[in-house]
Chain A
Amino acid sequence: MKNKNLISITDFSKEEQLHLLDVAEEFAKNPRQRILADKIVATLFFEPSTRTRLSFESAANQLGARIIGFSDASNSSVTKGETLKDTILMVSNYADLIVMRHPREGSARYASEVAKVPVINAGDGANQHPTQCLLDLYSIRKTQGRLDNLNIAFVGDLKYGRTVHSLTQALCNFNCTFHFVSPVELKMPSYVKQTVKDNKLEYHQYTELSDVIPFADIIYMTRVQRERFADPMEYERVKNSCILNKAMLAGCKENMKILHPLPRVNEIATDVDNTPYAYYFQQAHNGVFVRQALMSLILGAKE
């Protein structure tokens, strides 16, 4: 994977994804390894995303790399009208690897074609966020011991949630069965369902979260935003259908784990946090190991 870009999860084959998860497991056991001590990582955040940036920077720091960059485009020459191409070319001179978040879709792919160093996409608008997808795969494998033949429930805003789209596509490699729970307005887009069908896998659609609790191995929760609804009355009607609380978990499978890309608002009641099913904070922690693995593989410090 040396010198590869990671823009979309599909840029990595199934084998590469699994290898990366193996390397991430090594980092989980031994996170402080100064194997990138001679490297400079640029974190270019053209829009703020504190969580993702800190996770990347923590990962890079633990590997001994030095970090340059900006956390908001207003601190960069973008405000002076510099094009993305020029910014990327300039930064290519200063760093060995670029981690980039940008509000426009396609910006990361474009940057990877302009840059002289590898580019990792840390989110390009509503398009892709592949390291989120990898840390989700890692968390599923870690909690279930495997990725194959699982019942995966996705809950909430399935229409606009990019993480659920790419995770569904990635899990199509692993013979999973999908359960899509959402208000009618926020159903999974047809192109994602088509991918499931093309892989000869099954999906089922629901409007009530309680319907999937008895058989799900993973419940992947997402936030339902009021702004997504044209009719505010409709939001009021459905807002509770995708909220999870502790009482609802009676009768769930013992191995079941709840994931969430965070930040959470009210879709998971806080009384769930102390149950053995809550995994969302560890999930975020796993992101550091996955990003350590990714940066070391791309920079050739791991094979």
Chain B
Amino acid sequence: MVKKELIVSAIENGTVIDHIVSSEVFRVMRLLNLEKCEETVYMGSNLESQKLGKKGIIKVANRFFAPEEINKIALVSPNATIIEIRNFEVTKKTKVELPQTVKGIVKCMNPNCITNHEVIETNFTVVQNPDVKLKCHFCEKFTTKENMEFL
């Protein structure tokens, strides 16, 4: 317990995003627009984790996220846990779930897709069978996980 608090301080109110894939911490920061957040934000990467070996963690003071806002991080960290803290107590703990649609954050990998040639917000349906793929609403081509490029 003591050791944990030394690594990343506890927050009084806010959200802890735990079990982030270590290498994706910065991307999660960006996806949630935390780079511009004016509240206290702690982030840690390559922390010891029994579940993942190494993990990343982000703590944001005084911020709570709607599911549709935070679920997009499942694309890069499918095992992430969202913990809401109120008055130093855990009040809610949920796992991220893959959203059904992903808008505006991923580039379509088809170079001939219209979204790569005009200013159009990208829009994908998330398909899981069994690997996660994104089906472009416009060109109907699939962008696979390895080829996902974030805008």
Contacts and interface: CB of A to CB of B under 8 A. Distances in A.
Contacts of A22: none
Select the residue from A8, A83, A106, A126 with max chain B CB neighbours within 10 A: A106
A127 B118 contact: no
Interface string A123-140: 011111000000000000
B138 interface: yes
A83 to B, nearest CB: 5
Contact of A105 (B110, B118, B119, B120): B110
B52 interface: no
B10 to A, nearest CB: 47
A107 B116 CA distance: 11
Interface residues on B, range: 10 to 19
A76 to B, nearest CB: 15
Contact of B139 (A83, A105, A191): A105
Contacts of B117: 104
A85 B118 contact: yes
B21 interface: no
**Secondary structure type dominating chain B contacts:** loop
A84 interface: yes
Nearest to A128: B140
B101 interface: no
B90 interface: no
B118 A83 contact: yes
Given A83-B118, A110-B118, A125-B112, A105 B137 contact: no
Contacts of A104: 112-114, 117, 139
B114 A126 contact: no
A84 B140 CA distance: 19
Contact of A191 (B115, B137, B142): B142
Contacts, number: 51
B68 to A, nearest CB: 21
B115 A106 contact: yes
Interface residues on A, range: 10 to 19
B136 interface: yes
Interface in B102-151: 108, 110, 112-115, 117-120, 136-142
A8 B113 CA distance: 15
A193 interface: no
Contacts of B138: 105-107, 109-110
Contact of A107 (B108, B114, B137): B114
A179 to B, nearest CB: 25
A124 B115 CA distance: 13
Interface in A87-111: 102-107, 109-110
Contacts of A85: 118
B73 to A, nearest CB: 26
B142 A84 contact: no
Given A104-B114, A105-B114, A106-B114, A127 B120 contact: no
Contacts of B136: 106
A128 B140 CA distance: 9
5 contacts: A104-B114, A106-B110, A106-B140, A127-B139, A191-B142
Interface of B: 108, 110, 112-115, 117-120, 136-142
Which 8 pairs show the lowest CB-CB distances between chains A and B?
A: A106-B138, A105-B139, A106-B139, A106-B114, A107-B114, A104-B114, A109-B138, A106-B113
Given A8-B140, A105-B113, 9 more contacts: A83-B118, A83-B119, A85-B118, A105-B114, A106-B115, A106-B138, A107-B138, A110-B118, A126-B112
